[in-house]
Amino acid sequence: MSGQEQNEAGSKAAVKQAGTEVATPKRTKEIIAKYGFSFKKSLGQNFLIDQNILNNIVAAAELDETKGALEIGPGIGALTQRLAQAAGKVTAVEIDNRLIPILKDVLAEEAHTTVIHGDVLKLDLKQLFAEQFADVSGVSVVANLPYYVTTPILMKLLEEKLPLEHIVVMIQKEVAERMAAKPGGKEYGSLSVAVQYYCVPKVVCTVPHTVFIPQPNVDSAVIKLSLREKPAVDVPDEDHFFRVVQASFAQRRKTLANNLTAFVGKERREALTEMLLSNDIDPIRRGETLSLVEFARISRSMLEAGWGTQSVSS
């Protein structure tokens, strides 16, 4: 696109936003009143009214007219509007059927935008991608995720190994910090390892609770997860690797040796200690100090010994 074309496109978007921009307190309240919409606390519904935050989210997704965006939980379409201006194809999945007519109204003039009523946790995402994004060069997930389903949705997106470039989501600030945490800090845990196994995380910005209608009780953050071409570490069995990680954080105040003994059995305590030492890992360390490489070494050694092949009991 030439510089002149970019300026013209930007001008058109600015004119459009001036009259129909959803992400303002006035417009959001008008839409709520027009449709008699009432918020469901059980769905974690909070509508963003800050245009600068929307700009940050869309910019982080690195979209252009050749790419597609999957939006989860579009609400009344504030973010969807911006995505439609940035991407060649936008598909929005909304669980609340009361919002579908609102979205179709708000997005009536947005070409290449599809609204689907459904629960993303129950959808066949590979089929959805095949149907919705066959003609784009890349796809990113962009969403304002309800706090109560953040981890299940993200892990589904990652574990299904979808052809994604980025996942840009607004989530609870503390959860974003855990995803991006490095070994040695109190925020570092099994979620950190799982996310960083698949992605390179970066916190884009923090979002105060005051820029939503209604206001949530906690602040949020926008985090960008850039999908790796291959996982951060090579492991022979991903399921076993993640069970080892889960076991290592089972009781954070306990040493690695104690947590993993509960995982492999007391009768293997001495052999476990020897195995850790042979991998240059002090048995008295805690799980929060281990890198992904060290977790991978432990998992590989356990598999070679035939340990921990059963699921961790909850």
Q: How many domains does the chain have?
A: 2
Where is the domain boundary, 227, 246, 270? 227
Strand partners, 140: 69, 166
Tell me: do 188 and 95 sit in the same domain. Answer: yes
* Residues spanned by the domain of 103: 3-227
Tell me: do 249 and 142 sit in the same domain. Answer: no
Tell me: do 17 and 149 sit in the same domain. Answer: yes
**CA angle, corner 106, sides to 105 and 108, nearest 5?**
60
List, for residues 196-239, the tens digit of each pLDDT value: 999 999 999 999 999 999 999 999 999 999 999 999 999 999 99
- For a pLDDT cut of 70, what percent of the chain falls above it? 92
CATH number of the structural domain spanning residue 55: 3.40.50.150
Name the pTM for this structure.
0.89
Tell me: do 201 and 255 sit in the same domain. Answer: no
CATH number of the structural domain spanning residue 285: 1.10.8.100
Instruction: Name the binding residues.
Output: 46, 48, 73, 94, 119, 144
Tell me: do 17 and 74 sit in the same domain. Answer: yes
Q: Tell me if 311 is assigned to some domain.
A: no
Tell me: do 15 and 151 sit in the same domain. Answer: yes
Q: Tell me if 154 is assigned to some domain.
A: yes
Q: Tell me if 233 is assigned to some domain.
A: no
- pLDDT at residue 148 in the model: 85
- pLDDT at residue 310 in the model: 61
Tell me: do 44 and 174 sit in the same domain. Answer: yes
3-state SS, one letter per residue, for the chain = CCHHHHHHHHHHHHHHHHHHCCCCHHHHHHHHHHHCCCCCHHHCCCEECCHHHHHHHHHHHCCCCCCEEEEECCCCCHHHHHHHHHCCEEEEEECCHHHHHHHHHHCCCCCCEEEEECCCCCCCHHHHHHHHCCCCCCEEEEEECCHHHHHHHHHHHHHCCCCEEEEEEEEEHHHHHHHHCCCCCCCCCHHHHHHHHHEEEEEEEEECHHHEECCCCCCEEEEEEEECCCCCCCCCCHHHHHHHHHHHCCCCCCCHHHHHHHHHCHHHHHHHHHHHHHCCCCCCCCHHHCCHHHHHHHHHHHHHHCCCCCCCCC
How far is the CA of 191 from the CAs of 130, 135, 198, in angstroms?
29, 33, 11
Residue 5 has pLDDT above 50, yes or no: no
Q: Tell me if 232 is assigned to some domain.
A: no
- Cβ contact 274:302 at 8 Å: no
Tell me: do 139 and 205 sit in the same domain. Answer: yes
Q: Tell me if 314 is assigned to some domain.
A: no
List, for residues 120-143, the tens digit of each pLDDT value: 999 999 999 999 999 999 999 999
Report the Cα 78 to chain-centroid distance in Å: 19
Tell me: do 150 and 120 sit in the same domain. Answer: yes
Average pLDDT of the residues in 163-179: 97
How far is the CA of 143 from the CAs of 158, 222, 226, 240, 255, in angstroms?
15, 9, 14, 30, 37
Average pLDDT of the residues in 300-314: 75
**pLDDT confidence band for 171 (50 / 70 / 90):** very high
Where is the domain boundary, 170, 203, 227? 227
Tell me: do 181 and 283 sit in the same domain. Answer: no
Instruction: Name the binding residues for S-adenosyl-L-methionine.
Output: 46, 48, 73, 94, 119, 144
Closest to 88 in 3D by CA, of 137, 21, 55: 137
Tell me: do 125 and 259 sit in the same domain. Answer: no
- For a pLDDT cut of 90, what percent of the chain falls above it? 88
**pLDDT confidence band for 20 (50 / 70 / 90):** confident
Residue 180 has pLDDT above 80, yes or no: yes
Q: What average pLDDT is seen over the chain?
A: 92
Average pLDDT of the residues in 144-166: 93
- pLDDT at residue 12 in the model: 38
Average pLDDT of the residues in 263-285: 97
Tell me: do 256 and 156 sit in the same domain. Answer: no
In terms of pLDDT, which residue wins out, 45 or 310? Answer: 45
Where is the domain boundary, 203, 227, 251? 227
User: Can you give the length of the chain in residues?
Assistant: 314
